[in-house]
Amino acid sequence: MADAKTIGAVKGMNDIRPAAAETFLDTAVWQRIFETATRVLESYGFRLVWLPVVEETALFARGIGEDTDIVGKEMYSFADRGGRSLTLRPEGTAGAVRAYIEHGLARNEPIQRWWYFGPMFRAESPQKGRYRQFYQIGAEMLGVAEPGADAELLAMLWRFCSELGLKDISLRVNSVGDAETRKAYRDVLRGYFAGHLDSLCEACKGRLDKNPLRLLDCKRPGCRNVVEQAPDILSTMTPGARAHFDRVLELLTATQVPFVRDARLVRGLDYYTGTTFEITTSALGSQDAILGGGRYDALVEELGGPATPAVGFAAGVERLALLLSSAGVPTVAPDLYIVPMAGAEALAFSLADALRDSRKLRVEVGVAGHKLKSQMRRADRVGARFALVLGDEELANRRGKLKNLKDASTVEVTLTGEALLAQLTGMHT
C-alpha cells in the first residue's frame, strides 16, 4: 500500500513482473501469450507493427464514433505544449488505418496483414478483467473485401485460443450489415423499443434515438427481457450483406470452427460494417469478452483514404492471462545457475557464454565472492534446474559437480562448454 511518502501506480494500471503474486500479472504468462501470438499470427502471414501510443484526438472521435462510450467518456485526452488535443490510444484499429493511409499503402501494396501487441487506455471503472491501461493483441487485414478473409481470421483466432489451451470459450458471430441494412434496422428497432419504454433503463431510453443498436447490448434484467424478443437484423439485411454473411458462416462450418450465431451481438465501436464477432468465456464474470472484432469497410475512407475494405480483431491480454494463470504459471527459470567463488568469474562467464551460444539454454551467473550458501539459496529461489559451483578446486582440476536442484543428485562433469552442454541437454530430454 502506498503511504504519504511513496507513490503508487495509477489506479487501474498494473505492473507486469516476474513471479507476480497475482499470477495473471506474471511475465512468464505474458511471454507465453506473446510467443503463441507471434507463432500463430505469423503463420497466417501477419507482420508486426509498432505504432504510436498517442494520436490526435480527432482520429478516435472520427474513427470510433462521437456517440460511443469510449469517445464520450473513457478517453485520456490532453492538450500538448502546442495546444493540440492528443489522446492515449483506447484501441489500435484507428491508428493502424491512419498509418496505412499515411504511408500510401492503398496505392502501392493495398493488401496488408498487420498485427500488434501493446498498451491501450480507457478510463473505465477498474474491476477484475477491466483496467485503465490494458494490453491488446490485435490484427488488421486491409484491402480484402471477400468473406474468405473474415472466415480465415476467425479460423486463426480459434487456432490461437486452442494453442493457448483456453477452455470454456465460445465464438459468437453476427453481422451488422451494410449502411442500408443498419438504417432500416435502426428504424425497426426504434419502433419496437418505443412499444416497451416502461421496461427500459434510463441509459437505454437515452440511447434509443441516436443508437438503438446499442440497446441490444444492455445487461440489465428489464432490458434483457425486451431485447430477447427484438427483431433480428436479418429481417432488414440487404441481399448483398446477407450473401456475404452467409458465405462467412458456410466457410466457418466447412473449416470446422465451432461458432454460434448471436443476433444480439453488437460492438461498442461505430466503425463496423458487416461481420462482427466476439470470443467469450464463462470464467471471467461480467468481463466475459476475451476478444472482439469485425469488418470495417468504410473506415479507411472516413479517415481520408481511398475506399478500402478491412477486417480485424483485438484480444485483451489481461483476460487471456487471467484464464491461463489459473492453469499454472509456465516457468522461464534458468536451466543452470553457476555459483562462482571469488576469482572464478572468468571461467563462469566463458562457460555460460558457451551454453548460451547453443541457443538452447538459459544460464544465470551468481555474484562472485558472495557466500556459497546465499548463492545456492538464490539458485533455488529463481527456480534453476541445475547448479554448478566453481571454487579453487574446480578451477585447478577443470572438473566440477553438476547438482540437480530438484532431487539433489549430482554428476561429475569436465568444465568445458561442450561437456556441460552435452550433459545438460541430455538431462533435458
Size of site (CB under 6 A) for ligand HAM: 27
Shortest Å, Cβ 47 to ligand HAM: 16
Residues 6+ apart with CB under 8 A from 275: 147, 150, 173, 174, 175, 244, 245, 248, 294, 295, 311
Task: Give the one residue of 177, 274, 316, 334 binding ligand HAM; rule: CB under 6 A.
Answer: 316
DSSP H or E stretch at residue 423: helix 417-428
**Residue list 238-277, contact with ligand HAM (CB under 6 A):** 268-269
Q: Which is nearer to ligand HAM, 122 or 182 (CB)?
A: 122
Q: Which is nearer to ligand HAM, 177 or 292 (CB)?
A: 292
Type of residue found at 191: G
Q: Which is nearer to ligand HAM, 251 or 291 (CB)?
A: 291
Residues 6+ apart with CB under 8 A from 393: none
Distance (Å, whole) CA 153 – CA 146: 12
**Residue list 84-143, contact with ligand HAM (CB under 6 A):** 91-93, 122, 124, 130-131, 134, 136, 138, 140
Q: Does 182 bind ligand HAM (CB under 6 A)?
A: no
Answer yes or no: are the C-beta atoms of 313 and 37 closer than 8 Å: no
Stretch that binds ligand HAM, among 201-209, 211-219, 250-258, 310-318 (CB under 6 A): 310-318
Distance (Å, whole) CA 381 – CA 362: 15
Shortest Å, Cβ 52 to ligand HAM: 15
The edge-to-edge listing of strands for the beta sheet with 54-56 is: 54-56, 85-88, 76-79
Stretch that binds ligand HAM, among 54-62, 149-157, 228-236, 288-296 (CB under 6 A): 288-296
Shortest Å, Cβ 114 to ligand HAM: 10
Q: Which is nearer to ligand HAM, 41 or 341 (CB)?
A: 41
DSSP H or E stretch at residue 150: helix 147-164
Shortest Å, Cβ 333 to ligand HAM: 28
Task: Give the one residue of 29, 251, 265, 290 binding ligand HAM; rule: CB under 6 A.
Answer: 290
Q: Which is nearer to ligand HAM, 96 or 208 (CB)?
A: 96
Shortest Å, Cβ 370 to ligand HAM: 41
Shortest Å, Cβ 100 to ligand HAM: 12
326 φ/ψ angles, rounded to the nearest 5 degrees: -70, -15
- Measured from each CB, the residue nearest to ligand HAM is 316
Residues 6+ apart with CB under 8 A from 109: none
Task: Give the one residue of 318, 351, 365, 402 binding ligand HAM; rule: CB under 6 A.
Answer: 318
Distance (Å, whole) CA 64 – CA 61: 6
3-state secondary structure of 275: strand
What is the 3-state composition of the chain as percent helix, strand, coil, each rounded to the nearest 5?
A: 40, 20, 35
**Residue list 25-84, contact with ligand HAM (CB under 6 A):** none
Task: Give the one residue of 312, 340, 366, 400 binding ligand HAM; rule: CB under 6 A.
Answer: 312
Distance (Å, whole) CA 362 – CA 355: 8
Q: Which is nearer to ligand HAM, 140 or 394 (CB)?
A: 140
Distance (Å, whole) CA 406 – CA 275: 52
Distance (Å, whole) CA 167 – CA 136: 20
Task: Give the one residue of 71, 144, 289, 348 binding ligand HAM; rule: CB under 6 A.
Answer: 289
Residues in contact with ligand HAM by the rule CB under 6 A: 91-93, 122, 124, 130-131, 134, 136, 138, 140, 268-269, 289-294, 296, 312-316, 318-319
